[in-house]
Amino acid sequence: MSSSASLDDSKNMHKKRRRKKRLRLEDITVIDSPTLKRAVAAAALGNAMEWYDFGVYAYLAVVIGDVFFTGADPTIRQLATFGAFTVAFLIRPIGGMVFGPLGDKVGRKKILALTMIMMSASTFCIGLIPSYDSIGVWAPILLLLARLVQGFSTGGEYGGAATFIAEYSPDRKRGLMGSWLEFGTTSGYFLGAAIVSILTTLLPTGDLHSWGWRIPFFVAGPLGIIGLYMRSRLEETPAFQDQSEQAASEPTQKNEFVNMVTGHWKPLLVCIGLVLVFNVTDYMLLSYMPTYLSANLNYSQSHGTYLVLVVMLVMLVMQPIVGALSDKIGRKPIILFGSMAALLLSVPELWLIQSGNEAFILIGLIMMGLTLNCFTGTMPSTLPALFPTAIRYGALAIAFNVSVSLFGGTTPLVTSWLISASGNLYMPAFYLMLAGVIGAITILCTRETAGKRLIGSKPAAADKAEAKELLAEHHETIEEQVEDISSEIERLEVRRDNLIYEHPELYKQQQAEEQQQAEKGKE
């Protein structure tokens, strides 16, 4: 077949291709402000309740160890307690594999309601379990079962909540709106720590160990009811509704989810890497540091909790500021800064924490908290943007929970074991430094998503005026792309002509075609 025939066939095939639908003003989703606020509040409150439950367990780790692992060596008791804490994370990927694809199929709202019911019920049940002195080995077994239900339900929570807020948010404000999700997380930790601190201060040790520790777990009941009510009043996200309509009109493959996820291996790896540095820092500060201060530095249980409470207040103030900043300068610079801070500042932070000086300890913890803010303020908007709408909930839930299970949730257990095995109190710093290196490498391999539409979704604006601006920006982007393509075409044409000139037969054929075109032009 001649080169000209191949070229003609290529042109004909190009003409037969279906053109992409032109973006119009009516195609841009305008987000209703009151609906957006309700969606953010419902997702954030649910996430607050989820992490309140996990936070209470972490802050009561010493008491839980005494109640459920009575008689064991203090080191073994601490490892067993964090082992029960960690086991919930080991089952989280299974929860993500179940709830994530369901969220893409039946809707984000229904799955988020289900995960909330399971989480609040399992946490409430922990408060009902008798002690080891009462029922023996059945006490830790029942605790383990409750923790497994918690972990399974949480497997569908964060990915769904982050997806829910991201799909409801305007493109230009997704960082700010997403930051409120982690505001809820920190608030849940804060509430759990506050309740535990009050109980440990007001109650004698005997009362705390016999019945006082149960109170924070009972609080999960009403919190779950409130969160469930708020989520039940919401509609599905505009992006999911559009995707559902499209799926109903087009045939789908039987293994569509598996095929699409395996076709997005790079964003899956990016998500795992970003979640690693995010959650290692998170659990190191909010879950492990209170125990580190009491078990390794010999402070009272309430002392470390009070200090972390102050740190969380600082983080709550900074949270929306970092989210809004990410909309202005991008997610990548902030995440890279946080990763480098974990690498370069972790040892100085641990030196301050071990100094014995109250002010220095607080400064070290606040430095760690501000590093964590770099991730909490950006991840809820960064992670959902890695995947298209059709698999966003499922892919995010699976990648997020695999990373949390392997690296984040195991942080207290692994760090505690490393210190016990080595006797080196700087092990938390070394662990954070390794996470910082992985985070820095990962974010450098990630595209910037600030201000851009979600993959597979329509552009989203806060109002009509912003929608017009987005359409104008879209047209400007097209103009730039057309100019780039035109320049590339000119370069390729010059290269093509040079290659044809070096081939005698092709050159004669081109000359004949040009002569024929010239004769037709004269006619």
- CATH number, domain containing residue 209: 1.20.1250.20
Q: 196-207 burial, b if ≥16 CB within 10 A, otherwise e?
A: bbebbeebeeee
Instruction: Give the pLDDT confidence score for residue 424 in this predicted structure.
Output: 93
350 and 290 housed in the same domain: yes
Dig out the tokens for 295 from the structure.
């078990």
394 and 492 housed in the same domain: no
pLDDT digits 0-9 by tens, 71-100: 667 777 767 777 777 777 788 889 999 999
pLDDT digits 0-9 by tens, 167-176: 999 999 999 9
What is the average per-residue pLDDT within 167-186?
A: 92
Q: Give the confidence band of 442 by pLDDT, cuts at 50, 70, 90.
A: very high
What is the average per-residue pLDDT within 179-191?
A: 89
Q: Is the predicted pLDDT of residue 1 greater than 50, yes or no? A: no
Instruction: Give the pLDDT confidence score for residue 23 in this predicted structure.
Output: 78
Q: Is the predicted pLDDT of residue 179 greater than 60, yes or no? A: yes
Q: Is residue 523 part of a domain?
A: no
Instruction: Give the pLDDT confidence score for residue 397 in this predicted structure.
Output: 92
292 and 347 housed in the same domain: yes
390 and 366 housed in the same domain: yes
Residue 461: helix, strand or coil by DSSP?
A: strand
Q: Is residue 12 part of a domain?
A: no
Return the closest-CA partner of residue 432 out of 322, 270, 292: 292
Q: Is the predicted pLDDT of residue 132 greater than 90, yes or no? A: no
- Using an 8 Å Cβ cutoff, are 66 and 206 in contact? no
384 and 486 housed in the same domain: no
482 and 458 housed in the same domain: no
Q: Is residue 38 part of a domain?
A: yes
Q: 23-37 burial, b if ≥16 CB within 10 A, otherwise e?
A: beeeebbbbeeeebe
36 and 74 housed in the same domain: yes
Q: Is residue 432 part of a domain?
A: yes
Instruction: Give the pLDDT confidence score for residue 371 in this predicted structure.
Output: 97
How many CB atoms sit inside 10 A of residue 309's CB? 17
**What's the start-to-end Cα distance of the chain, in Å?**
29
Q: Give the confidence band of 273 by pLDDT, cuts at 50, 70, 90.
A: very high
Q: Where are the beta strands (DSSP E) in 319-412?
A: none
- Is the pLDDT higher at 384 or at 262? 384
- Is the pLDDT higher at 393 or at 3? 393
Q: Is the predicted pLDDT of residue 297 greater than 80, yes or no? A: yes
Number of structural domains, the chain? 2
- Averaged pLDDT score across all residues of the chain: 86
Return the closest-CA partner of residue 116 out of 174, 55, 73, 52: 52
Q: Is the predicted pLDDT of residue 339 greater than 60, yes or no? A: yes
| Residue given tokens 């409430």 in the structure block | 124
Instruction: Give the pLDDT confidence score for residue 61 in this predicted structure.
Output: 76
What is the average per-residue pLDDT within 149-160?
A: 88
352 and 490 housed in the same domain: no
What is the average per-residue pLDDT within 343-357?
A: 95
pLDDT digits 0-9 by tens, 465-496: 888 888 888 788 888 889 989 999 999 989 98
Does the reported pTM lie above 0.85?
no
483 and 405 housed in the same domain: no
Q: Is the predicted pLDDT of residue 506 greater than 70, yes or no? A: yes
410 and 507 housed in the same domain: no
- Is the pLDDT higher at 71 or at 38? 38
- How far, rounded to the nearest angstrom, does the alpha carbon of residue 395 sit from its chain's CA centroid? 11
CA atoms of 237 and 31, how far apart (whole Å):
10
Q: Is residue 11 part of a domain?
A: no
383 and 499 housed in the same domain: no
Q: Is the predicted pLDDT of residue 456 greater than 70, yes or no? A: yes
CA atoms of 434 and 428, how far apart (whole Å):
10
What is the average per-residue pLDDT within 214-235?
A: 86
CA triple 67-69-75, angle to 5 deg: 115
Instruction: Give the pLDDT confidence score for residue 250 in this predicted structure.
Output: 65
Q: Is the predicted pLDDT of residue 351 greater than 50, yes or no? A: yes
Q: Is residue 15 part of a domain?
A: no
Instruction: Give the pLDDT confidence score for residue 519 in this predicted structure.
Output: 77
Dig out the tokens for 76 from the structure.
């073994």
What is the average per-residue pLDDT within 409-418?
A: 86
Q: Give the confidence band of 8 by pLDDT, cuts at 50, 70, 90.
A: low
- How far, rounded to the nearest angstrom, does the alpha carbon of residue 156 sit from its chain's CA centroid? 12
Phi and psi torsions of 29, nearest 5°: -75, 125
How many CB atoms sit inside 10 A of residue 324's CB? 15
| Residue given tokens 């892919």 in the structure block | 395
**Judging by DSSP bridges, how do beta strands 29-30 and 460-461 pair with one another?**
parallel
Q: Give the confidence band of 257 by pLDDT, cuts at 50, 70, 90.
A: low
Distances (CA, A) of 261 to 244, 245, 348: 18, 21, 41
CA atoms of 310 and 317, how far apart (whole Å):
11
Q: Is residue 10 part of a domain?
A: no
What is the average per-residue pLDDT within 30-45?
A: 87
Q: Among 52-66, 324-338, 447-461, name the one with the lowest average pLDDT.
A: 52-66
What is the average per-residue pLDDT within 26-43?
A: 86
Q: Is residue 20 part of a domain?
A: no
DSSP for 121-147, written as a single string:
HHHHHHTTPPPHHHHTTHHHHHHHHHH
Dig out the tokens for 245 from the structure.
């309509």
Q: Which domain holds residue 501?
A: 477-513
158 and 276 housed in the same domain: yes
